[in-house]
Amino acid sequence: MERILVIGANGQIGSELVEALATQYGEGNIIAADISPRSLYGAKVYEVIDVLDPVRLAAVVQHYKITQVYQLAALLSATGEQAPLKAWTLNMDGLLNILELARLRGEAGKPLKIFWPSSIAAFGPNTPAQNTPQFTVMDPTTIYGISKLAGERLCEYYFQKYGVDVRSIRYPGIISYKSPPGGGTTDYAIAIFHAALRGESYSCFLKAETTLPMIYMPDAIRATIALMATPAAQLSIRSSYNVAGLSFNPRELAQAIAQKLPEFSIHYAPDSRQEIAASWPQSLDDTVARKDWNWKAEIDLQQLVKDMLKNVQVDKTEVATLNAAA
């Protein structure tokens, strides 16, 4: 029986992963954990964990006889630039604490399977931007991206040297409606829906033509659970897998929104996040993920926009007024 610990359960991925895992493995087998005192999303089993506290981490894993850990606690790209040392410490030591715990438990005959998220931020300005290959130049410029690249190397190291069963995905920008935008460069593509549904013009911090790889949350969750369920012998990558969803830029996204909400408008006020976005790929080659664990994205831009407009929560009175006007 799987007993699964999700660290960072109040975050963007964690909030949705806990629900999906609960459906698959049973609510009682999913232990949601985060640094704040309570679950923001109604998890049945919740523990307060600071991933920088290895003693507490080991105690929770022992107590619940955990078999899998998803370590999702991190600072994202834009927030990380505000506090680089904090981002480095959280992102690196958080991962190292989990890997060390998995190593020790493995040696004691109690193996832990680990999931850790990497990102398109692990690439940089000298990476080929179109159809970015699995293996290529990686020269990240943000502290977040540097921590992701170093983290990928650590994952592969712990697998090669200690046999730790760690798996990872280089997520594109993830778009979702359950949690608020969380300090990422790709989060313009979430904030834009909130503005659209409030009836506001959206001030975009990226230029209109800034194409980035993105993925809609249901696809991201499906990819994550599928990778974790794949027999270890099928996996050829122990750093992190390229996974493609779809690619678009702010102008294309705004146009797709305007097809549903004709009143919607966007204007552009690029800030320091533009430079970060410009250093990242525009599209990804995910051939290896397709081959190793049958990955294939399903959700296109039209479906994504329709679903986001239906589900993003803003003040209902404003939305009703807006819909009546449209």
Binding residues for ligand SER (CB under 6 A): 76-77, 119-121, 144, 171, 173, 184-186
Cβ-based nearer residue to ligand SER, 46 or 202: 202
Phi and psi, residue 81, nearest 5°: -70, -20
Helix (H) or strand (E) holding 214: strand 212-216
Amino acid in the structure at residue 183: G
173-175: strand order across its sheet: 173-175, 212-216, 246-248
In angstroms, what is the minimal distance from the CB of 305 to ligand SER?
A: 18
Strands 241-242 and 266-268: what pairing? Answer: unpaired
Helix (H) or strand (E) holding 113: strand 113-119
In angstroms, what is the minimal distance from the CB of 277 to ligand SER?
A: 8
SS3 content of the chain, % helix, strand, coil (to 5): 50, 15, 35
Cβ-based nearer residue to ligand SER, 171 or 193: 171
Nearest to 185 by CA among 78, 279, 75: 78
First vs last Cα of the chain: how many Å apart?
A: 52
Cβ-based nearer residue to ligand SER, 9 or 121: 121
In three state form, how does the secondary structure of 234-288 look? HCCCCCCEECCCEEECHHHHHHHHHHHCCCCCEEECCCHHHHHHHCCCCCECCHH
In angstroms, what is the minimal distance from the CB of 113 to ligand SER?
A: 22
- Which residue is closest to ligand SER by CB? 184
In angstroms, what is the minimal distance from the CB of 123 to ligand SER?
A: 10
In angstroms, what is the minimal distance from the CB of 284 to ligand SER?
A: 12
Is residue 70 annotated as part of the catalytic site, yes or no?
Answer: no
Cβ-based nearer residue to ligand SER, 173 or 250: 173
Nearest to 17 by CA among 269, 217, 229, 169: 217
Amino acid in the structure at residue 243: V
Nearest to 92 by CA among 51, 123, 122, 57: 51
| Structure tokens belonging to residue 167 | 């798996």
Cβ-based nearer residue to ligand SER, 78 or 196: 78
CB 48 within 8 A of CB 34: yes
In angstroms, what is the minimal distance from the CB of 267 to ligand SER?
A: 21
Cβ-based nearer residue to ligand SER, 184 or 281: 184
Q: Which of 41, 46, 64, 144 is catalytic?
A: 144
Length of the chain, in residues? 326
Determine the angle formed by the axes of helices 301-311 and 250-260, rounding to 10 degrees. 60
Supply the residues annotated as catalytic: 144
